Structure 1
Amino acid sequence: MTGNLLVESRDGVRFVTLNRPDRHNAFDDALIKELTEAFSHLGEARAVVLQSTGKSFSAGGDLAWMKRMAGNSPEDNLRDAKALSGLMEAIDTCPRPVIGVVQGAAYGGGVGLVACCDLVVAAESASFCLSEVKLGLIPAAISPYVVRALGGRQARRYAVSAEIFTAAVAQASGLVHEVVPADGLEKVRDLWLGKLAANGPKAMGAAKRLIRRAADEPLTDALRDWTAAQIADIRASDEGREGVSAFLEKRKPGWSS
């Protein structure tokens, strides 16, 4: 990893930190690749924290990078766009819980990063904006994740108007889960990490896959059969048996000892 992305593991947690404060943590092709790799090779981490240094969480795409890409071939632009889509998918489908800590402005693709996290805490002063149309662009690669987080109606408003909205509005819209003073971000982050440490590691990954599919598919017999198979499989797994036994025996399960 370069100095633009800091990756550190401690106490079973992978901390992934955007570190381009002078560029408002905007990402280019190199940083997209590094971020994707960081979420694809987690080692023994039980959870991931996505955070940033400086005043901004992320301004989305770096303007110099986008200007350079605009002069490239259609094939290069498509390849580049697919890489950004791949980053969002890597975060969204990460087999570990992902906590987003938003200390400042999240614009454009930065909103996409937030939408892909499982739990998000934002500072009261944080702001959000789907700013692409101001540049004659659209929030294409991030749209599936933003729509899932905000809902279609709210996403349409902010994608078309490019309004800046507050952390309170982001919470009311479902993009953010908790809003606190800036000096309370780490407290909430650590509280969540403590709760996650008590849960079955494989069960949390399975729960993420379960909710993603249940949210995206219509309720059919096929979906009901799949959900039944999921609980049947995990109930008979080593982790499932250990969790139930530990509860009945009034002891901590092996993963939290």
Structure 2
Amino acid sequence: MYETITIDTDARGVATLTLDRAEKHNAMSAQMLADLSAAAAGLAADDAVRVVVLTGAGKSFCAGGDLGWMQAQMAADAETRFVEARKLAEMLQALNSLPKPLIGAVQGNAFGGGVGMASVCDIAIGVDTLKMGLTETRLGIIPATIGPYVIARMGEARARRVFMSGRLFGAAEAVELGLLARAVPADGLAAAIEAEVTPYLACAPGAVASAKALIRDLGPRVDDAVIDRTIRALVDRWETDEAREGIGAFFDKRKPAWNTQV
């Protein structure tokens, strides 16, 4: 049914949604955006599903946006860029507003949009060996469409520590920043996720959905106006010389002009 993800639901109603582009470190392509949006709609409408666990296949949780997809945006016109950015933003919002508990099992590294994917989860638990980072500024772009979810998770003060610098950080700092609730050894991840799943199976599904909706209503606002603002910010950055240089340098396997690190 899907090309880039899998969904397996057990007899209890626990659905495991797996990003399944292990050979590409689960980077988000145009097809993955479409698959995830469709999956979110299907899971939301399926009364048999009580809890959703989001994870990745292979060594990485999600490496962010597929560079081929981003390169295509650089070659597209502004209208096409806006449409593609909206697909990314709408996928994130569909997962963020999923009327089921969404638990992140972050089994490997998460960069850029992968940090955004962890941030739309109601709780995320990661392996203690992982690395994370909001790496967009290294490419001359910004973490725009994921921004509302990352900042809602971390708060502005903690976000300022990592949102602009592009630096990588480990699992312990990810816990300190609020991106992860806990970091556990790889062989303990399944048990840690199960401990989060089990309590929901004793709760009324409708009450859980209503409680989650109330949290989102009372928390930082991520409405159409905010989403439109992030889309415009991303599209505007795609149109800059810095973005062309940064993404071009990545594909050329060279440092961009601004990189003065030794």
Per the shorter chain, which TM-score range?
A: 0.7 to 0.9
1:197-246 CA-partner distances (Å, limit 9, x unpaired): 011111111111111122236xxxxxxxxxxxxxxxxxxxxxxxxxxxxx
CA distance in structure 2 between the aligned counterparts of 1:82 and 1:156, rounded to whole angstroms: 25
Q: State the identity as a percent.
A: 38
Which of the pair has more CA radius of gyration? 1
Q: What amino acid sits opposite 1:8 in the alignment?
A: D
Residue 164 (structure 2) aligned to one of 160, 182, 199 = 160
Structure 1: which 4+ aligned runs deviate by more than 6 Å?
none
CA deviation after TM superposition for structure 1 residue 107, in Å: 0.2
Provide the secondary structure at the position in 1 that maps to 2:210.
helix
TM-score when normalising by structure 2: 0.81
Aligned pairs for 1:168-179 (under 5 A) are 168-179=172-183
Aligned: 1:192 with 2:193:
no
CA deviation after TM superposition for structure 1 residue 2, in Å: 3.3
CA distance in structure 1 between the aligned counterparts of 2:166 and 2:15, rounded to whole angstroms: 33
Number of equivalenced pairs: 217
Aligned: 1:136 with 2:140:
yes
Residue 45 (structure 1) aligned to one of 42, 45, 49 = 49
1:57-81 CA-partner distances (Å, limit 9, x unpaired): 0001000111012101101101111
Asked whether the equivalents of residues 8 and 15 of structure 2 are also in contact (C-alpha less than 8 Å), the reply is yes
Residue 126 (structure 2) aligned to one of 98, 122, 126 = 122
Provide the secondary structure at the position in 2 that maps to 1:163.
coil
Q: What is the RMSD computed on CA atoms of the aligned residues?
A: 1.1
Provide the secondary structure at the position in 2 that maps to 1:32.
helix
CA distance in structure 2 between the aligned counterparts of 1:202 and 1:166, rounded to whole angstroms: 37
CA distance in structure 2 between the aligned counterparts of 1:200 and 1:28, rounded to whole angstroms: 36
Asked whether the equivalents of residues 128 and 171 of structure 2 are also in contact (C-alpha less than 8 Å), the reply is yes
CA distance in structure 1 between the aligned counterparts of 2:201 and 2:30, rounded to whole angstroms: 34
> 1:106 — aligned with what?
110
TM-score when normalising by structure 1: 0.82
1:124-162 CA-partner distances (Å, limit 9, x unpaired): 011110000000010000000000011112222312111
Provide the secondary structure at the position in 1 that maps to 2:115.
helix
Provide the secondary structure at the position in 2 that maps to 1:41.
helix
Aligned: 1:32 with 2:37:
no
CA deviation after TM superposition for structure 1 residue 3, in Å: 4.2
Aligned pairs for 1:231-246 (under 5 A) are none
Residue 88 (structure 1) aligned to one of 75, 92, 109 = 92
CA deviation after TM superposition for structure 1 residue 15, in Å: 1.1
Asked whether the equivalents of residues 125 and 193 of structure 2 are also in contact (C-alpha less than 8 Å), the reply is yes
Any unmatched runs of 5+ in structure 1? Answer: 218-257
